[in-house]
């Protein structure tokens, strides 16, 4: 397949140029599945899962693969390079072990660069640029899906002391390349939103400051212009879902220092997107926007973009909940009060660090009118009611298929006793909590930090249940099959 791509000189100057931009991004977006690396199909990827792919690229004459360092636990750090241009672009990902979205996108980009398609566009890229990728800078952290490295430090705060071998490798590679552009690729919390909107900050950007005065020289200014261009790309597919980080100077951070060392540094943070728990749509947006940015760098088109377009990107805010319930009546000491409740579903790694379960929490309550939810329910006219323990007891897993959880919830039961809970179970597969034979449920009190489990009653009828932070419509004619639910809690 050969697709003729048109590109733009200025992202926002006229309708013709906007049309050209849409042609480019549409072609990349629509053909993405041809290049997506299928073997990396979940967030919790490990170092060993990349090795077969890297072995193939070592055999490929288009690519150069070099081992440039090792992690504390001895895992290789590899630099993959392609192109013959004078301008050097350096991209590194997963400095934080639990931030893998861009690592996946990098391997999608490799597939694109190795394909027989988009010949004219790739010729422009690879003749003008030399691209260098250092994926999974923190493989030890990735192994246990944690932010910090094996030393227990944040590599992104090690640019001055350089105690971590991973940080020393990053600086050595940057210095050896004298890279013109750097892409610092991260994930951020899914609870960030674009300022004063209910839109998640699906992608956030920053051209880091290189001093406390936040001065703008050509190096930082070029990063700002490329970011402004990328914002235009993302707006096509996630309108209003872009944020910009505060640019206060952090002298220990790599992004700030790499900017100071002369590389135009572009921080990209992958946040949240509705119904995209594994961030596969955000991975696609990374692929499209990074490739488009690389192309505009190759063509030099970014130079005429106004810095105002960077400053017009909304600031990042952090006012999103997974579930927000508004205007619910909550009685305490027999007096009614009106509350909003914000709940987040917090991921807990399983022992193999390959999957997770949710242990949700009430994050805030009261007047939450300035906050937003991925899911929001107006509970005007509903009263919060405590859930009880079901009178029947099951012996073990074999009886779970016989449990009608929806009927139990309608009757006001949110707990089910089980006398033989398997030792390897970490959560309940049903939309009801499983408790051991001797477990005593605590006194019901709605407050910050508790697991959000309660019923919503109207006119004496229980119509909704909140189980572990998931809202369940008990009046659903589909028998509750339409609600989004992963797990209940398990209390032994």
Q: Which CATH number fits the domain that encloses residue 22?
A: 3.40.630.10
Long-range contacts of 418-423 (CB under 8 A, 24+ apart): 418/393, 418/394, 419/393, 419/394, 419/395, 420/395, 420/396, 421/396, 421/490, 421/492, 422/396, 422/397
Residues 275 and 306 in one domain: yes
Instruction: Assign 403 a pLDDT band (cuts: 50, 70, 90).
Output: very high
Say whether pLDDT at 354 is over 60. Answer: yes
Instruction: Assign 5 a pLDDT band (cuts: 50, 70, 90).
Output: very low
Look up residue 23 and give its two tokens: 């042609």
pLDDT value, residue 369: 98
Nearest to 491 by CA among 430, 431, 416: 416
pLDDT value, residue 476: 86
* Pairwise CA distance, residues 294 & 185, whole Å: 14
Identify the DSSP state of 441.
P
Look up residue 463 and give its two tokens: 């119509």
The reply to whether 4 falls in a domain is no
Of the residues 297, 317, 337, the one at which a domain ends: 317
Nearest to 488 by CA among 452, 438, 449: 452
* Pairwise CA distance, residues 407 & 432, whole Å: 11
Say whether pLDDT at 21 is over 80. Answer: no
Helical (H) or strand (E) element with 490: strand 490-491
Mean pLDDT along residues 194-200? 96
Neighbour tally for 88: CB within 10 Å:
20
Of the residues 293, 317, 341, the one at which a domain ends: 317
Say whether pLDDT at 309 is over 50. Answer: yes
pLDDT value, residue 12: 40
Residue 131 phi/psi, 5-degree rounding, is -100, 135
- pLDDT digits 0-9 by tens, 61-104: 999 999 999 999 999 999 999 999 999 999 999 999 999 999 99
Residue 267 phi/psi, 5-degree rounding, is -85, 125
Domain hosting residue 392, numbered range: 321-491
pLDDT value, residue 414: 98
β-bridge mates for residue 331, sequence order? 336
Instruction: Assign 22 a pLDDT band (cuts: 50, 70, 90).
Output: low
Residues 185 and 277 in one domain: yes
The reply to whether 3 falls in a domain is no
Residue 426 in 3-state DSSP?
A: coil
pLDDT value, residue 25: 81
pLDDT value, residue 268: 98
β-bridge mates for residue 330, sequence order? 337
**Residue 192 Ramachandran class (φ > 0 left, ψ -120 to 50 alpha, else beta):** beta
Mean pLDDT along residues 141-164? 98
pLDDT value, residue 32: 98
* Pairwise CA distance, residues 21 & 329, whole Å: 50
Residue 15 in 3-state DSSP?
A: helix
Mean pLDDT along residues 204-229? 98
pLDDT value, residue 205: 98
Say whether pLDDT at 2 is over 60. Answer: no
Instruction: Assign 3 a pLDDT band (cuts: 50, 70, 90).
Output: very low
Give the global pTM: 0.93
Residues 372 and 481 in one domain: yes
pLDDT value, residue 296: 95
Residues 468 and 433 in one domain: yes
Count the alpha carbons within 13 Å of 155 in the hemisphere toward its beta carbon: 32
Instruction: Assign 137 a pLDDT band (cuts: 50, 70, 90).
Output: very high
Residues 340 and 470 in one domain: yes
Q: What is the mean pLDDT of the chain?
A: 94
Say whether pLDDT at 282 is over 80. Answer: yes
Residues 380 and 471 in one domain: yes
- pLDDT digits 0-9 by tens, 106-124: 999 999 999 999 999 999 9
Instruction: Assign 6 a pLDDT band (cuts: 50, 70, 90).
Output: very low
* Pairwise CA distance, residues 46 & 99, whole Å: 12
pLDDT value, residue 10: 35
Nearest to 146 by CA among 62, 75, 228, 46: 46
Residues 468 and 369 in one domain: yes
The residue to which tokens 């090792």 are assigned: 70
Q: How far is CA 14 from the centre of its chain?
A: 33
Residues 272 and 342 in one domain: no
The reply to whether 9 falls in a domain is no
Residues 209 and 329 in one domain: no
The residue to which tokens 């990098």 are assigned: 106
pLDDT value, residue 477: 66
Look up residue 440 and give its two tokens: 């005593």
Look up residue 490 and give its two tokens: 């398990």
Of the residues 282, 317, 352, the one at which a domain ends: 317
| Strands 372-378 vs 320-332: parallel, antiparallel or unpaired | parallel
Mean pLDDT along residues 173-179? 98
The count of structural domains within the chain is 2
Look up residue 84 and give its two tokens: 């013959």
Look up residue 40 and give its two tokens: 């990396």
Say whether pLDDT at 264 is over 90. Answer: yes
CA distances from 448 to 48, 327, 430 (A): 40, 17, 24
Helix pair angle (119-128, 101-113), 10° resolution: 110
- Is 432 or 22 the better-scoring residue by pLDDT? 432
Instruction: Assign 458 a pLDDT band (cuts: 50, 70, 90).
Output: very high
Mean pLDDT along residues 357-367? 98
Helical (H) or strand (E) element with 16: helix 15-30
* Pairwise CA distance, residues 346 & 359, whole Å: 5
């Amino acid at each position: 397949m050969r697709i003729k791509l048109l590109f733009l000189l200025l992202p926002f100057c006229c309708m013709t140029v906007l049309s050209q931009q849409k042609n480019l991004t549409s072609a990349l977006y629509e053909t993405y599945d041809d290049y997506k690396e299928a073997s990396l199909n979940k967030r919790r990827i490990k170092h060993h899962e990349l090795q077969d792919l890297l072995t193939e690229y070592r055999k490929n004459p288009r690519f150069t693969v070099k081992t440039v360092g090792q992690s504390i636990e001895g895992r290789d750090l590899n630099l993959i390079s392609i192109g013959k241009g004078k301008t050097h672009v350096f991209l590194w990902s997963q400095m934080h072990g639990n931030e893998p979205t861009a690592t996946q996108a990098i391997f999608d980009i490799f597939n694109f660069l190795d394909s027989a398609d988009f010949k004219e566009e790739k010729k422009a890229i690879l003749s003008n640029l030399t691209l260098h990728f250092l994926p999974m800078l923190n493989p030890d952290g990735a192994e246990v899906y944690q932010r910090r490295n094996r030393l227990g430090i944040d590599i992104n705060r090690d640019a001055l002391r350089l105690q971590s071998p991973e940080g020393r490798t990053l600086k050595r590679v940057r210095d050896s390349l004298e890279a013109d552009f750097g892409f610092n690729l991260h994930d951020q919390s899914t609870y960030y939103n674009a300022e004063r909107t209910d839109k998640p900050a699906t992608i956030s950007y920053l051209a880091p400051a290189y001093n406390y005065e936040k001065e703008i020289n050509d190096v930082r200014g070029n990063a700002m212009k490329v970011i402004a261009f990328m914002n235009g790309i993302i707006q096509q597919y996630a309108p209003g879902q872009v944020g910009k980080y505060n640019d206060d100077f952090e002298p220990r951070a790599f992004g700030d220092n790499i900017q100071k060392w002369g590389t135009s540094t572009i921080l990209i943070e992958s946040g949240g997107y509705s119904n995209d728990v594994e961030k596969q749509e955000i991975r696609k947006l990374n692929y499209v926007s990074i490739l488009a940015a690389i192309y505009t760098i190759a063509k030099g088109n970014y130079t005429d973009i106004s810095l105002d377009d960077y400053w017009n990107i909304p600031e990042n805010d952090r006012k999103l909940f997974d579930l927000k319930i508004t205007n619910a009546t909550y009685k305490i000491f027999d007096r009614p009060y009106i509350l909003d409740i914000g709940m987040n579903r917090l991921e807990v790694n399983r022992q193999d660090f390959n999957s997770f379960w949710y242990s949700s929490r009430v994050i805030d309550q009261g007047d939450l009118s300035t906050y937003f939810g991925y899911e929001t329910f107006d509970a005007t006219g509903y009263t919060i009611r405590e859930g009880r323990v079901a009178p029947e007891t099951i012996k073990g897993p074999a009886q779970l298929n016989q449990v009608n959880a929806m009927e139990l919830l309608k009757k006001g039961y949110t707990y089910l006793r089980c006398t033989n809970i398997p030792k390897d179970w970490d959560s309940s597969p049903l939309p009801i909590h499983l408790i051991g034979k001797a477990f005593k449920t605590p006194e019901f009190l709605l407050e910050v930090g508790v697991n959000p489990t309660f019923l919503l009653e109207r006119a004496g009828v229980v119509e909704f249940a909140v189980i572990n932070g998931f809202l369940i419509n008990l009046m659903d004619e589909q028998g509750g099959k339409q609600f989004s639910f992963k797990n209940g809690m398990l209390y032994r």
